[in-house]
Every structure is written in structure tokens, then in C-alpha cells.
Amino acid sequence: MADLTPPRRHPGTERNTPADAPAKEPHAEPAAPTDTPTGEPRAEPATPADEPRTEPTTPADTPVDRDRVARLLGHPDLAWLVERAHRRMARAEPLTGPVTLAAPTPDQRAAAERLLGRAPGTGRSLSVRLEAVDAVLRRSGAAPGGLAAAVTALTGPVARLADLRAQEAQAWREAYDPLTGLRPELAAWADRIRADGLVRRLARTPRTARDLLTATARALRALPAEPPVSLAAFAARTLGDAHALDDGTPLATLVHSGARALTGFPDGTGAEWRREAWAAAGLLKDALSSTVLTLGLTGTPALDAHAENGEPAVLTLRQLTRTPPSAAPATVYVCENPAVPATAADTLGPACPPLVCLQGQPSAAALTLLRHLHAHGTALRYHGDFDWGGLRIAATLLTHVPFRPWRYTAADYRAAASASPLAPLLTGAPADAPWDPDLRAALTELGVRVEEEAVLDTLMGDLGDGAPRQPDRPHS
């Protein structure tokens, strides 16, 4: 590694290299620097760091000769040296000691050697002492204030990192100001948003965060929407953009989070959960495509007419949020597959008790209806397929509304399996049954799946009687 620190000067000796300055008389003025053939001023080598400096200290804010500083230090091949000094100034570190450039180019090495007036060095890296550069700049007259003044002249004022960090921290604190003054039920949510880092991840900068939270606060102040309105219409009316609350946008993420805090909607995942959470705040996402199948349910003119004729009815999420059923039956049966209400309509017609069919995973419309019924005192009884998928559907439903099993226990499975000698083998990953922990063990033991279609006669018998044959065990 080539070290371009000037050598120690010993009394009684003279140096004959081109970079040496002429001898000085005591108290004599220093000789004016002369230009080198390259057009750069040639300066005397700096006094080594361990010898006292003879020139007086000059303030760093002393005016500099910008043209001469540019010729001395502004060459592209010295940009690395300026950057290292700038970095130290930003960190409030002293401009002393060596800085090293690994694998310098020949031009970078030559530029450093011209600056310090030294003979070419050898080595894989290039090391320059900042004190030496400071001395060159002072003695040349280009920057009487030294290296700090020269760097400032080349790069502009150097902001201290500590000051920048303090300013950024203050800007982030002010970015959350739009959350101030929200309704009391959102206070805990606002505190959590300030602390959990979500806004920083979504916005990246304080300015963007402030704009994002301003829009979030505007939307939350308009919730819950009464009467319910489509999500796109609400976004257009409140935020000026029908797509502002589309899934995946930072604004939708924050408003959805705040809406759940406002309504007390439980945590969850998945598209149906997001849709239902919006609906709880009066915002309908795909309000017409989310439906639920019913039979024998009353409480609206359309439902009353269908129940009287013994025909199934399809309710949309829009209908359920605008005009939910006014009647709350004592018991409503819930099933997984549409074969159950279809068979019930054929065999029982108007005599069928209220029945709700999920048609697979519970939709936002199904959950909205069942939650509404439960809130008004209706007891829910559920039956589904005896397979791992059926258990998962039932477990998902149970996280939203309580139910008691309707012929959906381990004992019911064993009876159904024994009556279905051709039942297909069970496949897939096992699942738990929180309403009956023995059900998983029974499915694992017997290893066959029993779909609802295989037990339709038993289910129709229960619906015809208006109650299961055996008492159901309450879920705790």
C-alpha cells in the first residue's frame, strides 16, 4: 500500500525532490506557489502530523478560491477523497488520519500524487492522510480554512447526520397529526398505528405518510356508511377516486384496519373476511356477487313469498345489509351443500323449517345473515360433509358465529360410515373439529368420507320433525 504521508524532516538535511519548498528564513513570508505544467498549483508537502504546525489556524468558514480549489481537489479522480472527507464531516468526525482506496486506478493514484507533490507510490491500495491534504489547501492559499472549507466549496454545505436524523424523526411525528381528533373508539387503533411501523412500511417517507393518513382519516370519519353503499361509490364520493380502496393499495390497508377497529370486527384473513369486514362498516364489495341460499326463511316480502311456496331464495349481500330479515326464528339449520335445500324443497316444501346453505366456504352474505340471526337470538345448528374439507369449513364458520352440531359429531360419523359401505376413501390433510374433538380421531380411524348427499334421508327426517332426533351438545 502506498502511503503518501510526507516524510519526517530532520535537522541539517535538505530534500531535493521537485515537491520540496525552498528554504525559508525565520519569520519570512512563504513563497507563492507556482503552477505545474498540468495547470495545478504545486504546494509544499504538509508538515507531518506528529510535528507542530507552523502556520496559524484559520477558521473553516474563511472565503476560498473556488477555481483553485476545483483545480486542486475537484478532479474526478479525487472524487473518492472528497466523498470520504464529506462523510466524516457529516458524522462530525475529525478530518485527521488516513483514508484508503482499495485497487485505485493509475489515474486516481497519479491525481493523489500530484495533489501532495510526492513521487509515485506502489502497492495495491492508496492511502492519503487528511492532515496532508488540509496542509496543501491551506499553504496553497486556495482554502485558508483547510479541507473542511474546500469540501464545502465543492459540495455545498454539509448537513450533519445527527441533525438530519432529528429532522426526520420530527417529520415522522408530524406525519401522524391527521389521526389526532378521530372519534374515541379509534384512539387505541391510532396509538397502535403510530407504534407498529405499518405506516412506515407503506409510505416510506414522512410526506407520503402524512398524505396517506390524511386520506385515511377522511375515510374513517365517514364510517360506518348509512345506508350501506358500494365500496367503489364510497371511495369516489369520499376520496375522489373510485379505485382508492381497491385491494392491495396502502390506503385500503389502513382504512380496512381502522374500519375493523371501529366496528370491533375480529381479525382474520382471506377475501371473504375482507369483504365481510367492509360490509360491517357499511361498505359493500361485490355486493351482488356474494350470495347465500335459503329455504323457509321469512322476514321480508320476498322471503315470505318464497317460504309460502316452499321455494329456495337467494339473498345478496346488498339485500342483507340494506333490508335484513325482520324475523328471528328460534332455530335455523345450516348445511354445506345445495343438495340439502333442493331435496327439502322437493320433499317438505312450505313445511320445511328455516334452512341456510353455505354452498362451500361461508360467503360474506352467508356470514352476514347468520351473524344477524344469532344477534337476534336464533340458535344455529350445523351439518357438513364428513371429510377434512368439511371440517375446515365448519371450523371457519365457528370462528364467526357459534353453532351446535346437527348430526355432525363422531357418533354421527360412525353411524353414517357404517351405513355407507361404498363411501370413498378420505384424502387430504387432517383438520380439527373444535365442536367435537373426537370427530378428527374417528375420521382418522375409519378413513372414509361421507358427504351430505349420503345422509339426506336422515337430514330430511330431522327437518320434517322440526328437530334433530337426539339432543345436541352445546358448544362451549
Cβ atoms of residues 43 and 136 within 8 Å = yes
Mean pLDDT on 453-463: 96
Confidence of residue 43 (pLDDT cuts 50, 70, 90): very low
Q: At what angle do helices 271-280 and 250-263 cross, to 10 degrees?
A: 60
Q: What distance in Å separates the CA atoms of residue 472 and residue 269, rounded to the nearest whole number?
A: 30
Residue range 140-154, pLDDT digits in tens? 999 999 999 999 999
Q: Is the pLDDT of residue 57 over 70?
A: no
Average pLDDT, the chain: 84
The pLDDT of residue 466: 61
Q: What distance in Å separates the CA atoms of residue 206 and residue 474, rounded to the nearest whole number?
A: 52
Confidence of residue 173 (pLDDT cuts 50, 70, 90): confident
The pLDDT of residue 386: 97
Q: Taking the alpha carbons of 276, 280, 284, 285 in that order, is the dihedral positive or negative?
A: negative
Q: Is the pLDDT of residue 468 over 90?
A: no
Q: Is the pLDDT of residue 340 over 90?
A: yes
- What does the buried/exposed string (b/e) look like for 417-451 if buried means 16 or more CB atoms within 10 Å of the residue's CB? beebeebeebeeeebebebbeebbebbeebebbbb
Residue keyed to cell 364467526: 400
pTM higher than 0.85 for the full model? no
Residue range 60-69, pLDDT digits in tens? 566 889 999 9
Residue 450 CA, distance from chain mean position: 43
- Determine which of 173-182, 214-223, 250-259 has the lowest per-residue pLDDT on average: 173-182
- Determine which of 204-208, 226-230, 245-249 has the lowest per-residue pLDDT on average: 226-230
Q: Is the pLDDT of residue 212 over 90?
A: yes
Q: Is the pLDDT of residue 332 over 70?
A: yes
Confidence of residue 16 (pLDDT cuts 50, 70, 90): very low
Q: What distance in Å separates the CA atoms of residue 335 and residue 361, rounded to the nearest whole number?
A: 11
pLDDT higher at 284 or 303: 303
Q: Is the pLDDT of residue 37 over 80?
A: no
